[in-house]
């Protein structure tokens, strides 16, 4: 997840829930400080997205909230709760 310029507005209830959970977390999420999680979709190969979501998102305690935010706002960049929006098509 990210909130860099160009990302969806941070005004939704899902965003509030996610940021509150982040603030309450004792440890940063597995994607913290990894620029691949904020990359534009065309900057990552499908295999890399699959690897990142399987290795990081699926063990992340924030995944339900991160995914809810992604489902609500469908960000045009970044990885959210184990997927991208729109989801990349498999070849």
- Cα 54 to Cα 50: distance, rounded to the nearest angstrom: 6
Identify the residue among 49, 60, 68, 77 touching ligand SF4 (CB under 6 A): 60
Residue 29 in the binding site for ligand SF4 (CB under 6 A): yes
Closest listed residue to residue 65, CA positions, set 16, 24, 2, 26: 16
- Cα 41 to Cα 45: distance, rounded to the nearest angstrom: 8
Identify the residue among 8, 79, 84, 85 touching ligand SF4 (CB under 6 A): 79
Nearer to ligand SF4 among residue 8 and residue 63 (C-beta): 63
Identify the residue among 1, 39, 44, 68 touching ligand SF4 (CB under 6 A): 1
């Amino acid at each position: 997840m990210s909130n860099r310029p160009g990302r969806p507005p941070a005004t939704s209830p899902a965003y509030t829930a996610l940021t509150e959970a982040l603030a309450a977390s004792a440890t940063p999420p597995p994607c913290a400080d990894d620029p691949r999680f904020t990359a534009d979709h065309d900057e990552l190969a499908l295999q890399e997205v699959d690897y990142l979501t399987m290795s990081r998102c699926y063990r992340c305690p924030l995944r339900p909230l991160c995914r809810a935010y992604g489902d609500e706002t469908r960000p045009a960049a970044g990885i959210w709760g184990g997927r991208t929006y729109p989801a990349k098509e498999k070849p």
